[in-house]
Structure 1
Amino acid sequence: MRSVKGTALVIASMVALAACGSSGGDGEKSGAQSSGKPRIKLVINGGLGDKSFFDSAYAGLKKAQKDLGYELKVVELGSDRTKWEPGFEDAAAADDYDILAAGTFDVTDYIGKLAPEYPDKKFWVFDAPVDYTGKNGTCSNKCENVYSVTFKQNEAGYLAGFLAEELVAAKSLKGTENLSKVGVIGGVKIPVIDDFIVGFKAGFKDAGGKKSDVLVQYVGGDKPFGDPAKGKEISTAMYGQGAALVWPVAGLSGLGTFESAVAEKRYTFGVDSDQYQTLADDAQKNTVVTSILKNVGNALYKAAQEDQSDALKYGAVDSVGLKDDAVGYVADDHFEELVPEKIRTALEKAADEVKSGSVTVPSAF
């Protein structure tokens, strides 16, 4: 599977540029001055520079700006959660956008409350849906002006687990020939993160692995997706328990895993974006066997295309997965150097079985 091709390749390159150009803190980044073009405002409950999730979203919208003529403004709210709700309220109140885009489960209630207040504006929520029923006290207008897109990250996790077991069983990774364990680090125990992990465990098992060989731990705390030091600490402990590789699904916290992998001479999987491309340190890059993709940027670019042609469905959730090229894995030259052809073929077969529906991947939802 060549997951980094065409649009995905362009967006992967733009993610690297986003990571290099971002401060990762509070503040705003603006696109062109208002000129009558449709305006998108990306509001981030965190910051750019994670080299994965939010950078992918930004890259997809930058591509929409370049290719489709949108204006783009970015608001970074930082990691202080007390600033998120007022930050979204201020962003929605400012008349400098036509579409407000935001992502993660943390923002769904904010958008659900704000969308009815601004019925002439459009809202995009990625990686979690608003409650269109209004039963939780939001979406008083049934959020008819909100488009939500969710991802079948369990399918991506399945391929990660399948590949991990194939690699350790074949003793393919240099320096880990006597190791059989692997690790997964989640940011916090919530369904969207557990969906990755449930899929991972299923893929690991279907490839012949033992349940006890999968180590799982969560970063937790006040900054579950923004604590690289904690990510490094957990990764080092997992490598110490005999993990050949660790897969962080924890945003910025996952950057600590790559540091640990270098120190311990072990391996990693990237997440959400092609982290072999986005990491600046060559030693860290070389620990990345592949990246398990959640193509947020692709999904937002597609939404921008469909919105221009009035084909985007508001008031509903769009769920995308492997067969939609919304999740997958990177199969580049570096991947081929580390992964034997026999395992690559087995992984492609596993992906085809998920796409066709002959394998049903369990979910945390």
Structure 2
Amino acid sequence: MKKILSLLLVVVMIFSMTACGQNPAGDGNGGKPYKAALLLNGTLGDKSFFDSANQGLEKLKAELGADKFDFKVEQMGATPADEPKWEPTLLEYCDGGEYDVIIIGTWQMIDALEKASEQFPDQKFMFFDETYNFEERANNNNIYNVLYKQNEVSYLIGAAAALMTTDGSLPMIDPSNSNIGFLGGMENPIINDFLVGYIQGAKEVNPDVKVKIAYVGDFWDSAKGKDLALTQYQSGGVDIGYNVAGAAGLGQIEAAADAKRYAFGVDSDQAALLPEKADFIPTSALKNVGNSLIRAIKLDLEGKLEYGTAESLGFAEGGVEIVKDAHYEKMVPENIRTQLNELEQKIVNGEIKVDTALGKSTEEIQAIKDSVQ
């Protein structure tokens, strides 16, 4: 009788393990590594957004081991000549059925994602840095959408820029003017969300601040980005700017170095990645794309990631931050760092509500731009 009971207990345990779905990292994939494909509508080496995503996956692979997690990066290119291959490449990866999840980002991929998710309902997708409208678009149960409160981190950068341009403690700054710059890639809701936060933060500490605004028109043409930034520095009276333009934004950092002015980095720690130009980069605004992907994949490995939903990560959730290291302490005066810490805490506490471009009309965005001209 005891042998029978023991046998039954073993059977029940095996059944329970099977019924519970995925086990923690690697064990729920039938002994195979969990595989991700990161499809970039751009290239690595942007020192920014795409590099952050890749570095996050590299970090996760090192942490879990290749026997538990592995990934492939597909660099599809960012130029107009590359665009026709974005959707076919995505569909090809889906058709192969090799990957547990396919990761893509940016507004330029949203239509292709909708088509792929509809054609391949069993394929899981992670979509970052653009809103996937689950109410209006197809097949919302196989997509996890992660967003970042870029308006929050840009609020701090705007405050820092407005304070530093009149502080006088840094060389190459004329404290008699209050002009700061903004260089966007393409004008879209996400880039304008950076801008709206930037303007609000700048006006918080200096209501008379002026913001020179330019858009490259893409996220890859660094030469054009440099030309636009040089115009701001040389003709617009700008001492310090903010690049939100992917690889094109590297042109602003080059312009800052040439003009002996300053530029805030974005998406990755650009002072660390560009040490030869670090003296012109006080700090960088980070969207923790890599960390958000690590978090999402770990949840998926545990069977806990909620597909068909969107999350927006800000300061409170660790989704955004500014780099605060020895370089930052060297470049940014202590009194300004103290003010920035206080502003950040007020955002976390809800004392400061940072405005957003998301959901605003073109006319409303223009009115915000006009307020700092």
TM-score, scaled to structure 2: 0.83
Query: 1: CA distance between counterparts of 2:307 and 2:46?
Result: 29
Q: Distance in 2 between matches of 1:342 and 1:234?
A: 31
In 2, Cα distance between equivalents of 1:259 and 1:176: 17
- Aligned-pair CA distance for 1:180: 2.3
Is 1:244 the counterpart of 2:239? The answer is yes
Say if 2:97 and 2:123, in contact at 8 Å, map to a contact too: no
Could you report, residue by residue, the CA deviation over 1:240-297 in whole angstroms, capped at 9, with x for unpaired residues?
A: 1211111110000011111111111111100011001112x51x12211000111101
Partner AA of 2:173 in structure 1? T
Among 339, 349, 354, the alignment partner of 1:346 is 339
* 1:198 matched residue in structure 2: 196
Question: Which residue matches 1:21?
Answer: none
The answer for the alignment partner of 1:177 in structure 2 is: 174
Aligned to 2:62: 66
> How far does residue 130 in structure 1 lie from its aligned partner after superposition?
2.1
Q: 72-81 or 229-238: which moved more?
A: 72-81
Q: Which amino acid aligns with 2:231?
A: A
Number of the residue aligned with 2:39 = 43
Q: Any idea what the Cα deviations from partners look like across 1:278-329, whole Å, max 9, x if unmatched? A: 12x51x1221100011110110011111111112110010111011111110
CA distance in 2, matches of 1:194, 1:346: 25
1:144 pairs with 2:138 = no
Per the alignment, residue 90 of structure 2 pairs with 88
Matched, 1:327 2:356: no
**Residue in structure 2 matching 1:253, options 226, 248, 255:** 248
CA contact (8 A) 1:165 1:209 kept: no
Shift of 1:347: 0.3
1:323 is paired with a residue of what secondary structure? coil
* Secondary structure of 1:292's aligned partner: strand
Does the aligned pair in 2 maintain the 1:112–1:131 contact within 8 Å? no
Residue aligned with 1:144, SS: helix
2:291 aligned to which of 289, 294, 298: 298
Query: What's the Cα RMSD here?
Result: 1.4
* 1-structure distance, mates of 2:174, 2:43: 39
Question: Which amino acid is the alignment partner of residue 260 of structure 1?
Answer: A
Whole-angstrom CA distance in 2 between matches of 1:332 and 1:47: 28
Cα-to-partner distance string for 1:139-167 (whole Å, 9 max, x where unaligned)? 1x3x2011000111000110010111111
SS in 2 for 1:324: coil
Aligned residue number for residue 27 of structure 1: none
Q: Distance in 1 between matches of 2:71 and 2:169?
A: 45
Match of 1:217 in 2: 214
What's the CA shift for 1:129? 2.7
The CA distance in 2 between the partners of 1:123 and 1:172, in whole Å, is 48
- Structure 1 gap segments, 5+ residues each: 1-33
Q: CA deviation at 1:108?
A: 1.6
Residue identity in the other structure for 2:188:
I
Of residues 271, 278, 283 in structure 2, which corresponds to 1:276? 271
Match of 1:266 in 2: 261
Superposition deviation, residue 95 in structure 1: 2.4
In the alignment, is the contact (CA less than 8 A) between 2:178 and 2:208 conserved in 1?
Answer: no
Q: Distance in 2 between matches of 1:218 and 1:129?
A: 21
Residues 1:355 and 2:348 are matched in the alignment = yes
Correspondence for 1:157 among 136, 154, 157: 154
8 Å contact from structure 1 (residues 111, 130) kept in 2: no
* CA-CA distance at 1:35 after TM superposition: 7.3
Check whether the contact 2:283–2:323 (CA below 8 A) recurs between aligned residues: yes
| Distance (Å, rounded) in 2 between the aligned partners of 1:119 and 1:191 | 28
- Per mean C-alpha deviation after superposition, the further-off stretch among 63-72 and 224-233 is 63-72
Contact 1:184–1:214 (CA<8 Å) still a contact in 2?
yes
Shift of 1:131: 2.5
Separation in 2 of the partners of 1:308 and 1:183?
43
Equivalent of residue 129 in structure 2, options 120, 127, 130: 127
Corresponding residue for 1:109? 111
* Structure 2 SS opposite 1:189: coil
3-state DSSP of counterpart to 1:158: helix
Is 1:307–2:300 an aligned residue pair?
A: yes
1:35-85 superposed Cα distances (whole Å, 9 cap, x missing partner): 711110000111111011000001111112222331101111112212212
Which residue identity does 2:193 align to in structure 1? D
Q: Give the unaligned 5+ runs of structure 2.
A: 1-29, 359-373
Count of residues in correspondence between the two structures? 321
Same amino acid, percent of matched pairs: 39
8 Å contact from structure 1 (residues 109, 130) kept in 2: no
Please tell me whether Structure 1 or Structure 2 has the larger radius of gyration of its CA atoms: 2
Question: Residue type matched to 2:203 in 1?
Answer: K
After the TM superposition, which of the residue ranges 189-198 and 176-185 deviates more from structure 2?
A: 176-185
Give the whole-Å Cα distance in 2 for the aligned partners of 1:163 and 1:106. 31
